[in-house]
């Protein structure tokens, strides 16, 4: 045995030695037993009452309606009929975009500003109950390295690295007078790259994976509050989008595309994009193509807020106000269409701004999910669907490949919340707010979330 071990170590290097050591240590993994909990498992519209769940190391080892044996020294949590559920998954955040506006960030953000903001955002997300966050542009792998090393506190993190955007597209953050291709603050930091042909796409998409992206983010439509781009924009040729998909697939991963218009969404899906972001002109024909392609949609429901036109960033900027009026009219069928032809939809906040403002937006986005689609659909969007989306990063790029995310089942990662009350009946117990930016400041962590566990470790326990 010894000689085989030495040979293997010599051939494969030191990483294999540590795997051998951890395999030998396996019996010593710490255990946590949750007793008498009602489980929402992330997929079914019911609670499994009075169950026990054993966590060993960072995985769920056993789930049972009967007793589960533990070793001496196991941590025992008396659940007293509280709800045990998967940690929330955010599918569309921007942890490295502090706001207040895109030009201000381009002109005045240093790497220190961005790192400090990202650190505080990561901690806020975890304390709001999010154990996984997919970043939709602007963050490279540094934040994840710091979180996973335990240097800072935060969720599991799936960054997209630089936004890939055409000149004048939705992630062209360069100054108004900046010539095409000129380096910007954000391009130097690999937060946004200007991509205008297939060669650019190959170069910057590959560079994103080099910088630690787990998937790619392409800006295929324009936006409402941004400077140069009509929301109706069809950015990028079929060849360019296919090039992004090709690079992503060569890493075993996928592309998420910011797509508003129906034609943009159809083009993206036909080019192989697996995750439609926003997707505001969603309809039943799109649903059919999505199901055929195994694609997902994530949508910021705050876009359907009745007060959208009163937001200062919209109301006070004539061009944005005009865009918002036409967008609201064009997007009005999203919710009825999603009810008529449901597809796999993930939770999506899309906040750019201060930690306090984003905490409010998260609580409101949670509320809108329940208000528009019901508590069960909201909870599925926030848990198991998010886990499926995270897993699309594939066997080579997924930083967390050892278990499922977003479910309470044997072998899944132990990313768990213990909650006062039943969120299937009352969504407010997960920390919702029916007000957006004009609501009161949010608590650092919702009181009804009594335990936050990520990767088998406690980050909050008020029992």
Task: Annotate 341-353 with b (16+ C-beta within 10 A) or e (fewer).
Answer: bebbbbbbbbbbb
Beta pairing partners, 32:
55, 75
Nearer CB in complex with Zn ion: 90/350: 350
384 Cβ contact partners less than 8 Å away, ≥ 6 residues apart = 42, 43, 86, 406, 407
d(Cα 226, Cα 231) in Å, to the nearest integer?
A: 9
Nearer CB in complex with Zn ion: 79/353: 353
Nearer CB in complex with Zn ion: 136/380: 136
Question: What are the backbone dihedrals phi and psi of residue 76, each rounded to the nearest 5 degrees, phi first?
Answer: -115, 125
Least Å from the CB of residue 136 to Zn ion: 4
Least Å from the CB of residue 90 to Zn ion: 11
Least Å from the CB of residue 305 to Zn ion: 16
145 Cβ contact partners less than 8 Å away, ≥ 6 residues apart = 212
Angle 375-382/384-391 helices, nearest 10 degrees? 30
Number of neighbouring beta carbons within 10 Å of residue 273: 26
Nearer CB in complex with Zn ion: 42/137: 137
Least Å from the CB of residue 7 to Zn ion: 50
Nearer CB in complex with Zn ion: 267/302: 302
Nearer CB in complex with Zn ion: 229/350: 350
- Smallest Cα–Cα separation from 150: which of 457, 407, 462, 460? 457
d(Cα 385, Cα 344) in Å, to the nearest integer?
A: 7
d(Cα 179, Cα 438) in Å, to the nearest integer?
A: 39
Nearer CB in complex with Zn ion: 34/163: 163
Query: CA distances (Å), 373 to each of 185, 307, 340, 385, 420, in order?
Result: 40, 19, 11, 15, 22
Nearer CB in complex with Zn ion: 93/451: 93
Nearer CB in complex with Zn ion: 350/455: 350
Query: Given the rule CB under 5 A, which residues bind Zn ion?
Result: 136, 350
- Smallest Cα–Cα separation from 387: which of 407, 373, 369? 407
What 3-state DSSP class applies to 433?
Answer: coil
The sign one gets for the Cα dihedral 235, 237, 238, 239 is negative
Least Å from the CB of residue 61 to Zn ion: 37
Least Å from the CB of residue 377 to Zn ion: 22
Nearer CB in complex with Zn ion: 136/382: 136
Cα–Cα–Cα angle for 173, 389, 223, rounded to 5 degrees? 25
Least Å from the CB of residue 92 to Zn ion: 6
d(Cα 72, Cα 114) in Å, to the nearest integer?
A: 45
Query: Pairing state of beta strands 156-158 and 88-93?
Result: unpaired
């Amino acid at each position: 045995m010894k000689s085989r071990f030495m040979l293997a170590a010599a051939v494969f290097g030191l990483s294999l030695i540590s795997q051998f050591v951890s395999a030998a240590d396996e019996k010593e993994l710490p255990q946590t037993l949750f007793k008498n909990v009602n489980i929402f498992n992330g997929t079914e519209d019911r609670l499994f009452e009075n169950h026990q769940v054993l966590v060993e190391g960072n995985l769920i080892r056993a789930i049972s309606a009967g007793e589960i044996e533990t070793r001496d020294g196991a941590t025992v949590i008396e659940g007293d009929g509280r709800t045990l559920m998967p940690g929330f998954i955010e599918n569309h955040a921007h942890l490295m975009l502090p706001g207040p506006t895109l030009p201000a960030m381009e002109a005045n953000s240093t790497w220190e500003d961005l790192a400090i903001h990202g650190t505080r955002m990561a901690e806020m997300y975890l304390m709001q109950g999010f154990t996984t966050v997919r970043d939709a542009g602007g963050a490279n792998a540094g934040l994840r390295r710091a979180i996973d090393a335990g240097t800072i506190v935060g969720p599991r993190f799936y960054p997209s690295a630089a936004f890939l955007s055409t000149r004048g597209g939705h992630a062209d953050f360069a100054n108004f007078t900046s010539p095409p291709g000129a380096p910007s603050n954000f391009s130097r930091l690999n937060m946004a790259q200007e991509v205008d042909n297939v060669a650019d796409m190959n170069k910057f998409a590959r560079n994103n994976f080099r910088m630690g992206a787990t998937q790619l983010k392409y800006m295929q439509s324009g936006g409402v509050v941004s400077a140069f781009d009509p929301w109706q924009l069809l950015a990028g040729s079929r060849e360019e989008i296919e090039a992004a998909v090709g690079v992503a697939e060569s890493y075993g991963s996928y592309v998420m595309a910011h797509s508003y218009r129906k034609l943009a969404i159809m083009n993206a899906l036909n080019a192989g994009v697996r995750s439609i972001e926003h997707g505001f002109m969603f309809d039943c024909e799109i649903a059919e193509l999505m199901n055929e392609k195994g694609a997902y949609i994530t949508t910021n429901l705050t876009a359907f807020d009745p007060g959208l036109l009163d937001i200062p960033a919209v109301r006070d900027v004539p061009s944005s106000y005009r865009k918002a009026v036409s967008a609201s009219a064009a997007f009005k069928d999203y919710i009825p269409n999603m009810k008529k032809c449901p597809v796999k939809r993930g939770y999506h906040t899309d906040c750019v701004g201060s930690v306090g403002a984003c905490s409010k937006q998260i609580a409101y986005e949670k509320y809108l999910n329940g208000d528009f689609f019901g508590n069960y659909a909201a909870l599925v969007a926030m848990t198991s669907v998010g886990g499926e989306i995270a897993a699309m990063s594939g066997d080579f790029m997924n930083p967390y490949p050892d278990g499922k995310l977003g479910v309470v089942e044997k072998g899944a990662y132990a990313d768990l919340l213990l909650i006062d009350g039943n969120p299937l009946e009352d969504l407010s117990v997960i920390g919702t707010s029916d007000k957006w930016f004009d609501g009161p400041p949010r608590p650092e962590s919702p009181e009804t979330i009594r335990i936050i566990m990520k990767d088998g470790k406690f980050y909050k326990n008020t029992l």
